[in-house]
Structure 1
Amino acid sequence: MGIFHFLGFSLAFYAIYRFTATLTRNKLRAILTAVDDIPLLGLPRGCTRRIPGTAVVCGGSIAGLLTAKICGDHFDKVVIVEPEEWVTTEEGLHDRHRQALDNYSLEADHKRARVFQYTFMHGYQMFLPMALKKLFKNFEVEIRRAGGRLVPHDFQVYWSGIPFPMSDVWKGKEAPHVLGISRPLLETTLRRLVLESSPNVCYIAGSVVSMIQMGKDNVIQGVSIRPAGSSEVVQIAATMVADCTGPARIGFKCLKDLQSKSGATDNLEYLKKMYTHKLNTASFEFKIPSDMIPKLKALSFPGDFSRSWAVLNSAPDPDEERRGLGVICSENNTIHVACGGWGLENPPQTISEVREIASTLRLARPLPSWVIPFLDFLDKENLPCVHLHLRCPPAVWLQYHKATNLPSNFVALGDAVMNLNPLQGFGVTKACVDAVTLNGLLTRLPGNTLPSDFGHKFFDIQAKRIKGRWDQTKMEDYAYDTTIPSHGEDKDTYALWTRKFNRQLVKLLIKDPSVTATWVQTRDWLAPETDLLSPRILLKLGWMILSNTFSALF
Structure 2
Amino acid sequence: MIKYAAFDLIFQARPGHRCQLSSCYKTPLVRKSLFPEPTVFVSIMVSPVYYTLPASLVGVVLVFDAFWRLLRSHLVAKYSSIEDIKGLGQARPDDTKIRGTAVVCGGSYAGLATARVLHDHFERVVIIEPEEWLREDDARRTDSWNQQQKRARIVQYHSLQTTQPFVLNTLRYLFPAWDMTCEESGIRIAPFSLNYLWSGRSAKEPNSYFGGSLPNAMFASRRALETTLRRSVLNSKDYPNIVQISGQVTDFLKDYHRAARVAGVVYRSSDGTEHRLDAELVVDCTGTAQAGLKWLSAAGFDADIRRDTYDPKTRYATFNFKITPELAAKLPVPGGFHRPSGGYAISIPDAAKDNKGLCIVRNEDNRLQVCCGSWGTPDTPIVKTVDGILAYCNALRLDEPLPQWVLVTMELLREAEEDMYCSQVSVGPSYLLKFQESNSLPTNFVALGDAVCRVNPLYGHGFAKALAGATCLNTILNRTRNATTLPGTFSKDFFGLHANKIVPMWELPILSDYGQEATTPLAGEKKSSTDGLRWYLSQIVKLSLTDESAAVPAFLGVSLLGGAPMDLLHPSLIVKVLCQCLFSKAR
TM-score by length of 2: 0.86
Are the aligned partners of 2:195 and 2:202 in contact in 1 as well (CA < 8 Å)?
yes
Are the aligned partners of 2:443 and 2:489 in contact in 1 as well (CA < 8 Å)?
yes
Are the aligned partners of 2:264 and 2:280 in contact in 1 as well (CA < 8 Å)?
yes
> Which of 312, 318, 325 is the matching residue for 2:351?
318
Deviation at 1:14, TM superposition (A): 3.2
> Which of 152, 173, 178 is the matching residue for 2:191?
152
> Which of 448, 464, 475 is the matching residue for 1:440?
475
Mapped partners of 2:503, 2:490: distance in 1: 20
Are the aligned partners of 1:169 and 1:516 in contact in 2 as well (CA < 8 Å)?
no
Per-residue Cα deviation, 1:73-99 (whole angstroms, up to 9, x for no partner)? 01111000001000011111115352x
Per-residue Cα deviation, 1:6-65 (whole angstroms, up to 9, x for no partner)? 344344433332322222111111101011112211124499601111111011111111
Paired residue for 1:273? Answer: 308
Per-residue Cα deviation, 1:486-532 (whole angstroms, up to 9, x for no partner)? 333333x3433322332333222333211202211110212223322
- Amino acid of the structure 1 residue aligned with 2:283: A
Paired residue for 1:460? Answer: 496
Mapped partners of 2:134, 2:303: distance in 1: 35
- Amino acid of the structure 2 residue aligned with 1:158: L
Deviation at 1:287, TM superposition (A): 0.4
Per-residue Cα deviation, 1:243-262 (whole angstroms, up to 9, x for no partner)? 11111111122113223xx6
Paired residue for 2:414? Answer: 379
Paired residue for 2:272? Answer: 231
Are the aligned partners of 1:518 and 1:532 in contact in 2 as well (CA < 8 Å)?
yes
Q: Which segment is superposed worse, 414-423 or 382-391? A: 382-391
Cα 1:223/1:175, change in 2 over 3 Å: same
Cα 1:444/1:388, change in 2 over 3 Å: same
Paired residue for 1:210? Answer: 251
> Which of 175, 196, 203 is the matching residue for 1:164?
203
Are the aligned partners of 1:286 and 1:383 in contact in 2 as well (CA < 8 Å)?
no
Are the aligned partners of 1:155 and 1:312 in contact in 2 as well (CA < 8 Å)?
yes
Paired residue for 2:261? Answer: 219
Per-residue Cα deviation, 1:366-419 (whole angstroms, up to 9, x for no partner)? 111111111111125544100121111211211212222111111111111111
Specify the SS of the correspondent of 1:166: coil
1:15 counterpart = 2:48: no
Deviation at 1:306, TM superposition (A): 5.4
1:183 counterpart = 2:222: yes
Mapped partners of 1:306, 1:77: distance in 2: 44
Alignment length, in residue pairs? 533
Mapped partners of 1:381, 1:26: distance in 2: 49
- Amino acid of the structure 2 residue aligned with 1:112: R
Specify the SS of the correspondent of 1:56: strand
Cα 1:171/1:233, change in 2 over 3 Å: closer
Any stretches of 5+ residues in structure 1 without a counterpart? 99-103
1:192 counterpart = 2:228: no
1:2 counterpart = 2:44: no
Are the aligned partners of 1:475 and 1:494 in contact in 2 as well (CA < 8 Å)?
no
Where does 1:66-105 land on structure 2 (aligned, <5 Å)? 66-94=113-141, 96=143, 98=145
Are the aligned partners of 2:206 and 2:552 in contact in 1 as well (CA < 8 Å)?
no
Per-residue Cα deviation, 1:330-370 (whole angstroms, up to 9, x for no partner)? 11121001113112222211111110110121100111111
- Amino acid of the structure 2 residue aligned with 1:221: A
Mapped partners of 1:60, 1:472: distance in 2: 28
Deviation at 1:111, TM superposition (A): 2.0
- Amino acid of the structure 2 residue aligned with 1:333: N
1:240 counterpart = 2:281: yes
Per-residue Cα deviation, 1:245-299 (whole angstroms, up to 9, x for no partner)? 111111122113223xx6xxx661x522222221122111000122222222xx3
- Amino acid of the structure 1 residue aligned with 2:226: E
Where does 1:423-502 land on structure 2 (aligned, <5 Å)? 423-445=458-480, 447-491=483-527, 493-502=528-537
Where does 1:37-48 land on structure 2 (aligned, <5 Å)? 37-45=84-92
Mapped partners of 1:21, 1:489: distance in 2: 31
Specify the SS of the correspondent of 1:541: helix
Are the aligned partners of 1:95 and 1:184 in contact in 2 as well (CA < 8 Å)?
no
Mapped partners of 1:256, 1:159: distance in 2: 46
- Amino acid of the structure 2 residue aligned with 1:220: V
- Amino acid of the structure 1 residue aligned with 2:49: G
Any stretches of 5+ residues in structure 2 without a counterpart? 1-47
Specify the SS of the correspondent of 2:502: helix
Paired residue for 1:101? Answer: none
TM-score by length of 1: 0.91
> Which of 82, 103, 114 is the matching residue for 1:35?
82
Mapped partners of 1:60, 1:194: distance in 2: 10
Are the aligned partners of 1:54 and 1:78 in contact in 2 as well (CA < 8 Å)?
yes
Q: Which segment is superposed worse, 246-255 or 41-50? A: 41-50
Q: Give the number of the structure whose alpha-carbon radius of gyration is greater.
A: 2
Paired residue for 2:160? Answer: 121
Cα 1:509/1:134, change in 2 over 3 Å: same
1:537 counterpart = 2:576: no
Specify the SS of the correspondent of 1:434: helix
Are the aligned partners of 2:199 and 2:348 in contact in 1 as well (CA < 8 Å)?
yes
Mapped partners of 1:548, 1:161: distance in 2: 20
Mapped partners of 1:523, 1:369: distance in 2: 28
Deviation at 1:423, TM superposition (A): 1.0
Deviation at 1:456, TM superposition (A): 1.4
Per-residue Cα deviation, 1:89-115 (whole angstroms, up to 9, x for no partner)? 1111115352xxxxx6xxx65321111
Where does 1:275-290 land on structure 2 (aligned, <5 Å)? 275-290=310-325
1:256 counterpart = 2:297: yes
Cα 1:258/1:510, change in 2 over 3 Å: farther
Q: Percent identity?
A: 32
Are the aligned partners of 1:153 and 1:175 in contact in 2 as well (CA < 8 Å)?
yes
- Amino acid of the structure 2 residue aligned with 1:316: P
Are the aligned partners of 1:280 and 1:392 in contact in 2 as well (CA < 8 Å)?
yes
Specify the SS of the correspondent of 2:520: coil
Higher relative contact order (CA 8 A, sep 6+): 1
Cα 1:12/1:447, change in 2 over 3 Å: farther
Q: Which segment is superposed worse, 155-164 or 508-517? A: 508-517
Alignment RMSD: 2.1
> Which of 340, 344, 358 is the matching residue for 2:373?
340
Mapped partners of 1:546, 1:386: distance in 2: 49
- Amino acid of the structure 2 residue aligned with 1:343: G
Specify the SS of the correspondent of 2:572: helix
Specify the SS of the correspondent of 2:372: strand
Mapped partners of 1:50, 1:248: distance in 2: 31
Are the aligned partners of 2:205 and 2:548 in contact in 1 as well (CA < 8 Å)?
yes
Specify the SS of the correspondent of 1:495: helix
- Amino acid of the structure 2 residue aligned with 1:121: L
Cα 1:500/1:378, change in 2 over 3 Å: same
Mapped partners of 1:244, 1:328: distance in 2: 28
Cα 1:408/1:305, change in 2 over 3 Å: farther
Are the aligned partners of 2:322 and 2:416 in contact in 1 as well (CA < 8 Å)?
no
Deviation at 1:301, TM superposition (A): 5.2
Mapped partners of 1:213, 1:323: distance in 2: 49
Specify the SS of the correspondent of 2:346: strand
Are the aligned partners of 1:311 and 1:329 in contact in 2 as well (CA < 8 Å)?
yes
